[in-house]
Structure formats: structure tokens, C-alpha cells
Amino acid sequence: MRKSFRGNKPEKAKEFRVNEKIFSPELMIIDEEGQNLGVMTKWQALEEAKNRGLDLIEVSPKAVPPIAKFMDYGSYKYQKEKLERKQKAKQKTVEVKTIKLSARISPHDVDIRAGQAVRFLTDGDKVRIELQLKGRENQHADLARVSISSVVKQIKEKMTATDPDKVVRIEQDIVKLGNKLSTIIYL
């Protein structure tokens, strides 16, 4: 089977122009302590950076004149990647868990599905409640809406019983797509 690579390119981090790769002939220079040294030519700034044992990095290329800083590029790049990894580790992806119902579901099964939904919500996920209509059930979509509404109400009651501070909200009202009705709820 042929593997498609379309759209699978990883995001490229913003690369700064360093030393000779800077295009602008004049630059606003900031030293390693954050002091503004004023406007210099590119070659004067490169010479000064070399004397200090640092790199010249173009921080803001769209400013007039562009702003450049004296700093060690290797350690700067490492610190930036370290910060990105730390932010990525803290980030939690929210999943949408699906609870499937039917038009003729028993009250006990509804109770079990509501318990599952409460568990998903407390884990921080969103819950899609889906009811599929089959055959002649399609003519009674209004009854299916009532059924979904009662399940949502039951989930809200169970949630307030377990944790009264958390409020269940509806992200997407009951929508009919083909022969399915669904709604999405979250905390």
C-alpha cells in the first residue's frame, strides 16, 4: 500500500537569521544585558559580536530598522526548545467520547450510559450522546429528541450529586444528521 505524505509535514520552528545570514545593511542593536546600543551597520555589529564572543541574531526582522541582539545562538535555541517541550507536556488534549443510545433502550441501560458519561466528564473529556434511528423510527425524531434530553437531564443530576460545583453545559444542541441525532456536552 502506498503511503501518502500530503499534509504530514511537521511544523517548523521559527528560525532566526544569524550572523552573515542577516540581509539588512543597518540594524538596531541590543546587547546581552538588554541595553540599546543604537543603530549600527551589519558589519560593525558582526565585528562587535565577534569581539564579545557571541552571535548576532535578528530578533525582529519587520521593524525599521530590524532589531538584532548579541547572544549565544546555541544556548538560545536550546532554551527555546526546552520551553516548547515543557509547554507541550502540560497541554492536555480533550477527547470527545461517544455514548450510543437506541430508541428502545431500557431505563437500566440509560442509567449505565449516564454513569459512563459522568466518568468521562470528570476525566475532562467532552461527551457526544448519539441516538441512531432505524427504519420507521425515523418518523418519530421528536421522541428521540425527548429521549436524548432526558438522558442529558439525568447526566446533569448525577453530576450535581457527585460534585455540586461542576456544571454540565451543552456545547452543541440536538442535531439530526441523516438517521442520527446527537448532542455534545462538557463541563
12: left (phi over 0), alpha (psi -120 to 50) or beta: beta
Q: List alpha helices for the chain, DSSP H.
A: 42-52, 73-90, 107-122, 141-162
Angle between helices 141-162 and 107-122 (to 10 degrees): 50
pLDDT band at 90 (very low <50, low <70, confident <90, very high): confident
Residue ranges covered by each domain of the chain = 19-87, 96-186
pLDDT confidence bin for 182, thresholds 50/70/90: very high
What is the model's pTM? 0.54
Neighbours of 54 (CB within 10 A): 18
Say if residues 68 and 57 touch (Cβ distance below 8 Å).
Answer: yes
pLDDT band, very low/low/confident/very high, at 111 (cuts 50, 70, 90) = very high
Domain covering 19-87, topology: Ubiquitin-like (UB roll) (3.10.20)
Q: Would you say residue 103 has pLDDT above 80? A: yes
CATH number for the region 96-186 comes to: 3.30.110.10
Mind listing the pLDDT tens digit for each residue in 11-46? 555 677 888 888 888 999 998 888 888 898 989 989
Q: Does residue 171 sit in helix, strand or coil?
A: strand
Phi and psi, residue 47, nearest 5°: -65, -45
